[in-house]
Structure formats: C-alpha cells, structure tokens
Amino acid sequence: MDAEARLSIEIIDTYTCALRHGVFDPEHIARELNSDLARIRQAEEILLSLHLLTPGRDGEPSVPADPEVAEAELSAPITKEILKQQKAIARIHRQMHELRPFYRDRHRIQHEAAAVTTYENPADVRRELTAMLEGCRHEVLMMQPGGGRSHQTLRRVIASSLATLNRGVGMRTIYQHSARANLATRGYVRQVTAAGAMVRTTIDTFERLIVIDGDVAFVPMSRVGAEAPGAAIVSDPTVVGFMCRSFENLWESAKPFDVTSSDAETKPDEIHSAILALLAQGHKDETIARRLGIATRTCRRYIKTIVDELDASSRFQAGVQALHLGLVSAEERGNDTNTRSAADRHAFQS
C-alpha cells in the first residue's frame, strides 16, 4: 500500500469490526459489513502490511494491534535511515568546515596580489561572491539598478542574504524608485529589513555594484547579446574607496523603502527632471525607460506631458528648450556616465 495514501473507509470499517470482536474473522466481518469475502481477505493483507494486525499462531486468527505500536514499527527503519543520513551530512560539514579557512586565506592573498580579477563565466562570479559573502564580517553594500528584481532571482538569493544578516553582518541596498511597485522585490525587502538590513530607493540612475567589507567590489562586465555577463572583482583600495564614497553620496539622498506602501513614491517633478536630462542627451524612449526602471509606455506618457508643458513640437526640441530654460544643467546634458544601458548593467545576482 502507498505510504502516502489515506486508509479507505472499507479498511477502517474492517479494522474497527475486528476490534469489536477482538480477532480478525474474515467470514464474520464479511457478513457484518455485507461485503465480499475476497475483499475482506484483501483488506486483511493491507492491515497486516501496516502492522495493524498481529498474525495468529498455529492457525489462530489475526488479532488487531495498537496503531501507536504499528506506527513505531513502520517508522523505525525510516527513522534509522534518516539518522544515518544526518550523520553523513554532519560528517561532510565537518570535513568541509576544516578546509574553508585555507581556501579563504588563499582567496584573500590572490585578491590582494591582483587589484582586478575578471571572471567571464557568471557561474564563477556567483561562486566567488558566495565565498566572499560567507567570509564577510562587517557590511555588504549593494546597488541594484532598474525596476524590481525577478521572483526567481530573489528566491535564489534570499537564503544567503538572511544567513549573512543572521551572522550580525550589516547590509545596505539601493534600488531605483520603480522597484517599490514590484511585489517580489517588496517581499524580499520585507524579509531582509526584518532581519536588520537597510534599503533605500532613488530616482537617480546608477550601475550595479556590490562591495564586501569595504575591501572588495564586484562590478559587472558589459552584456554581449542575451547571455549574462561576467564581472570584475576589484580589490585596489583607492578604487574600492571611491566606489564606497559614491555609494554613501547616493545613500544620503535616497529615501527609505517603505514596504507598507505599494506606491512607487516618486514625485512627478523628480521623474520629469531625470527624463529631461536624458532627452537633452539625445536618448530614445526605450533607453530612458530602461535607465529609470519604468515601462516604456509610462515613459512615453511622461515625455508627452513634458513636450506639452514646454509647448515643444518634438521630444528633441523639448530637450533643447529644457537646456535653454535652465531645467537641465550643462553638466547633466553632457553626463552620460551615470546612465549607461540597463542591458549592459544587468549582471551577477547578489
């Protein structure tokens, strides 16, 4: 009988009938239940296999058994196997735990010797990042551009994020405002903030970045085609220090991610200013939408509003007029380094 299947009414009735009489008499039970004798014989075999009947001696009929005793007899070999597997897992853990310090020391020496190490295979990047997170002692800084992250990605990283936080390691993450409207991202943020993480969002555009303990930074390579890119692991103190300061500057102006509100909480004038800067740089609608982490259709609605308000004949003219009116500074007009393609920045998973 399938161990996961529930006992049928017929089996239960057969067992309770045998209980009333104290023995398993197939013919008597068949008459009492108005059932076929062959079916009662079949029920007897099932009850015997479940240890709910104790076979009689010297031709004596079977006797109903205590279900608790039957449960113990059936589960004993399974419990024994589980304990055996648990011991095997503990042995593997002890063996690997003994080797971890050697690997991490070697890892640290390698990164100290090489200011920049590149990994083109995303699997290698994830392996290196996992090792770094496990060895992190103080704080993890993360910048995650674009809109919300996918459910599959967040489901994969939530365990490692919580494990890092549970060790007392700090974690600060910056998203763009549009991530607030993504349910999967909101669920992830709710869990990690409950465990001690801090999360903020900003209207500004930025690149993906992860910094471990202020010593090592993970920077994604440019994406080529549909394949996920590799990453560079940077350990040069000057470069990593610059990245940390850039994070802190963005963090100061960012807003706390409030998971109790489903609104993206981005003021229209903030979005308009960001779009105007990108229009003045000559970017297309799709590019602007990607960089702000919003839908292309939503972006076009904003652009239409801007064009109408500036009484411009085209989106390009709106960008030019914004520059002349001082709505976009010359610095913003020429600054394209902070607004690179989201396709280029879509990188490793934290």
Q: What pLDDT score does 350 carry?
A: 38
Q: What pLDDT score does 263 carry?
A: 52
Tell me, what DSSP letter sits at residue 181? G
Q: Look up residue 171 and give its amino acid.
A: M
How far is the C-alpha of 265 from the C-alpha of 202, rounded, in Å?
Answer: 10
Q: Which fold has domain 268-345?
A: Arc Repressor Mutant, subunit A (1.10.10)
Q: Look up residue 59 and give its amino acid.
A: G
Crossing angle, helix 296-309 and helix 285-292, to 10 degrees? 110
User: Residue 296's pLDDT band (boundaries 50, 70, 90)?
Assistant: confident
Q: Which residue has the higher pLDDT, 143 or 5?
A: 143
User: Residue 114's pLDDT band (boundaries 50, 70, 90)?
Assistant: low
The most confident of 76-80, 204-208, 290-294, by mean pLDDT: 76-80
Q: What pLDDT score does 304 carry?
A: 84
How far is the C-alpha of 106 from the C-alpha of 194, rounded, in Å?
Answer: 34
Tell me, what DSSP letter sits at residue 23? S
Flag whether pLDDT at 339 surpasses 60.
no
Q: Is residue 251 within 8 Å of residue 138, measured between CB atoms?
A: no
Flag whether pLDDT at 4 surpasses 50.
no
Question: In percent, how much of the chain has pLDDT > 70?
Answer: 82
What is the mean pLDDT of the segment spanning 266-288?
76
**Average confidence score pLDDT of the chain:** 82
Specify the CATH superfamily of domain 103-256: Endonuclease Chain A (3.30.870.10)
How far is the C-alpha of 224 from the C-alpha of 343, rounded, in Å?
Answer: 9
Flag whether pLDDT at 183 surpasses 80.
no
* Radius of gyration for the chain, computed over Cα atoms and rounded to the nearest angstrom: 32
Instruction: Parse the chain into domains and list their residue ranges.
Output: 9-65, 103-256, 268-345
Q: Is residue 339 within 8 Å of residue 143, measured between CB atoms?
A: no
Closest Cα partner for 212 from 350, 15, 58?
350
User: Residue 171's pLDDT band (boundaries 50, 70, 90)?
Assistant: very high
Q: Look up residue 218 and give its amino acid.
A: F
Lookup: tokens for 171: 């974690």
User: Residue 155's pLDDT band (boundaries 50, 70, 90)?
Assistant: confident
Q: Is residue 210 within 8 Å of residue 234, measured between CB atoms?
A: no
Q: Which helix (H) or strand (E) holds 216?
A: strand 216-220
CATH match for 9-65 among 1.10.510, 1.10.10, 3.10.20, 3.30.470:
1.10.10
Q: How far is CA 18 from CA 25, 30, 63, 284, in A?
A: 7, 11, 8, 81
Q: What pLDDT score does 49 carry?
A: 92
Flag whether pLDDT at 109 surpasses 70.
no
Ranges 16-25, 231-240, 271-280: which has the least confidence: 271-280
3-state secondary structure of 347: coil
**Same fold: 9-65 with 268-345:** yes
What is the mean pLDDT of the segment spanning 238-256?
94
Q: What pLDDT score does 139 carry?
A: 96
User: Residue 269's pLDDT band (boundaries 50, 70, 90)?
Assistant: low
Flag whether pLDDT at 159 surpasses 70.
yes
Lookup: tokens for 128: 């290196």
